[in-house]
């Protein structure tokens, strides 16, 4: 919640909350509770809101569906409209698919854009990047990496294919590191051996072993004096 509040304080609320008008200067929150609470934390006095009348659900649904058909909407506008239809009109993605004439995968891809950091959503809203640029970034879990790639897209004019390749390479690198880490993980009995050896040398020790039983013992040293002490320990042990 604090992270959302900080984002709202910096960027404002991108997706307005929705309220129902109950009477003069009186409203009921329909959706956007987290955004509203975060706005309180950020000490905002004014936030954007969609205001609905008490009995306008069918009219709202018709208006949103009609609005989605406009040609001048950007990807974020469409994503927000799809999300409103699901949250406020109680439509499933299947029903929404029938209403707007789009397959469910397309609708899912649009709605997933709302999970991106505020900076990326703003870039979409302002047409600085396309939906094709934004979609690969959803697969990255690290917000800082997402923002760094966003800046590269804008500053270097990266194509969608280039962004896809960057994300693919990052994912492969992460998977490779994970597999390498698993391969390098020592069984408990070898961890104990490494600790026992490390206690005998002034600069620690590293034991490497593969699944076939082959490996090496690495004893680092920081100076000639360190090296002499290590040699002395080995000789005395003999």
Catalytic residue status for 164? no
- Token pair for 145: 């990496």
Interaxial angle between packed helices 75-88 and 118-125, expressed in degrees from 0 to 180 and rounded to the nearest 10 = 110
Which of 33, 66, 98, 225 is labelled catalytic? 33
- Token pair for 15: 């997706």
- Picking from 102, 109, 155, 106, the residue whose alpha carbon sits closest to that of residue 129 is 155
Instruction: Point out which residues pair with 21 in neighbouring strands.
Output: 27
Sign for the CA dihedral angle at 140, 142, 146, 149 comes to negative
Reported for 19-24, long-range contacts at CB under 8 A and 24+ positions apart, including other chains, are: 19/49, 19/50, 19/51, 19/52, 20/51, 20/52, 20/53, 20/54, 21/51, 21/52, 21/53, 21/54, 22/54
Contact 133, 112 (CB under 8 A): no
CA distance 144 to 160: 19
Backbone angles phi and psi of 20, in degrees to 5: -110, 130
**Contacts of residue 6, Cβ cutoff 8 Å, sequence gap at least 6:** 42
> Which sequence positions are flagged as catalytic?
33
């Amino acid at each position: 919640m604090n992270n959302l509040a900080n984002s709202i304080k910096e960027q404002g609320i991108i997706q307005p909350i929705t309220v129902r008008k109950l009477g003069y200067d009186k409203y009921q929150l329909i959706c956007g509770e987290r955004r509203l609470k975060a706005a309180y934390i950020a000490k905002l006095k004014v936030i954007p809101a969609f205001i609905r009348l008490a009995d306008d659900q069918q009219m709202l649904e018709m208006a949103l569906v009609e609005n989605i058909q406009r040609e001048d909407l950007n990807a974020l506008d469409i994503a927000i409209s799809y999300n409103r239809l699901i949250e406020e009109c109680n439509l499933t993605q299947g029903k929404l698919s029938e209403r707007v004439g789009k397959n469910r995968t397309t609708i899912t891809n649009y709605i997933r854009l709302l999970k991106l950091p505020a900076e990326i959503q703003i870039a979409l809203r302002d047409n600085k990047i396309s939906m094709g640029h934004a979609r690969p970034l959803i697969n990255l879990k690290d917000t800082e990496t997402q923002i760094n790639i966003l800046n590269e897209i804008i500053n270097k004019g990266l194509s969608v294919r280039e962004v896809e390749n960057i994300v693919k390479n990052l994912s492969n690198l992460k998977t490779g590191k994970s597999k390498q880490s698993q391969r390098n993980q020592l069984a408990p009995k070898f961890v104990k051996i490494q600790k026992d050896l490390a206690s005998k040398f002034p600069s620690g020790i590293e034991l490497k072993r593969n699944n076939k039983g082959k490996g090496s013992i690495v004893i680092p040293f920081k100076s000639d004096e360190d090296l002499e002490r290590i040699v002395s320990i080995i000789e005395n042990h003999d």
